[in-house]
Amino acid sequence: MSGRDLEAAKDLEVYRRQGLGGSLGRQPPFGLLVVDFVRGFADPAQLGGGNIAQAIEASVPLLAAARAQGWPIAHSRIVYADDASDHNVFSEKIPGMRVLHEEADASQFVPQLAPMAGELVVRKTAPSAFFGTALAPWLTARGVRTLLVAGCTTSGCVRASVVDAMSWGFRPIVVEDCVGDRAIGPHDANLFDMRSKYADVAPWNAVAESIGIAA
């Protein structure tokens, strides 16, 4: 065991002792949020990398199942104005996002997960899909109680959206194989945080089984 692994083991021990990591159960009705699966984040040469490509592929059956179930489905994208009028602290911190304009190739949804008519498209300029958007009222008006979350990046917009989903009164389930990040260390660390404090975290086949539908 490396020093780091020992530390991780000790971390788990304090979390267990303090009662973190419990499950939120499975409270219907369900909804699905797909965070920022756009071309720029699918491409390692732009803002992607790591396990994002696999998470996109793993999300195809998840999205199909959500549609078959008739769940409310929302998809978020980062979109900055062409004239840079809405630049903010986030785009100042990460200048690479400033190219994510409405019509830019990098900010188009990946084709295998393209929204269908009637699914909500959330344009945002902050990490959380709930921040500065009408996502929370949209889910509330549709009666959603538990929100499955897929998307990228795990350590960025997924994490921020999951914390907000919980804060806004929804029970988040992070679909583990359907979230990805440009680097595995932050991916794992954020799954650990979310599982401990904010959400259930499980792969799609386990989630599907737990709510009694086909994966």
Task: Output the smallest distance, CB 174 to a second copy, in A.
Answer: 12
Q: Is 14 in the site for a second copy (CB under 8 A)?
A: yes
Active site residues: 157
Beta strands in 5-119 (DSSP E): 30-35, 73-78
CA distances for 20 relative to 36, 206, 210, angstroms: 29, 21, 21
Which residue from 16, 60, 68, 167 is in contact with a second copy, where contact means CB under 8 A?
Answer: 167
Q: Which is nearer to a second copy, 38 or 136 (CB)?
A: 136
- What would you report as the CA-atom Rg of the chain, rounded to the nearest whole angstrom? 17
Could you tell me which stretch among 31-39, 54-62, 103-111, 135-143 binds a second copy (CB under 8 A)? 135-143
Task: Tell me the window of 54-62, 63-71, 179-187, 204-212 that interacts with a second copy (CB under 8 A).
Answer: 179-187
127 binds a second copy (CB under 8 A): yes
Token pair, residue 208, equals 């599907």
Residues between 95 and 114 that touch a second copy (CB under 8 A): 95-96
What tokens does 165 get?
A: 């989903």
Q: Is 15 a residue that touches a second copy (CB under 8 A)?
A: yes
CB 128 within 8 A of CB 157: yes
Angle at 175 (CA atoms; ends 170, 181), nearest 5 degrees: 110
The span of 53-61, 86-94, 104-112, 207-215 binding a second copy (CB under 8 A) equals: 86-94
Q: For residues 211 and 171, what is the distance between their CA atoms, to the nearest angstrom?
A: 14
Q: Which of 108, 131, 205, 210 is the binder for a second copy (CB under 8 A)?
A: 131
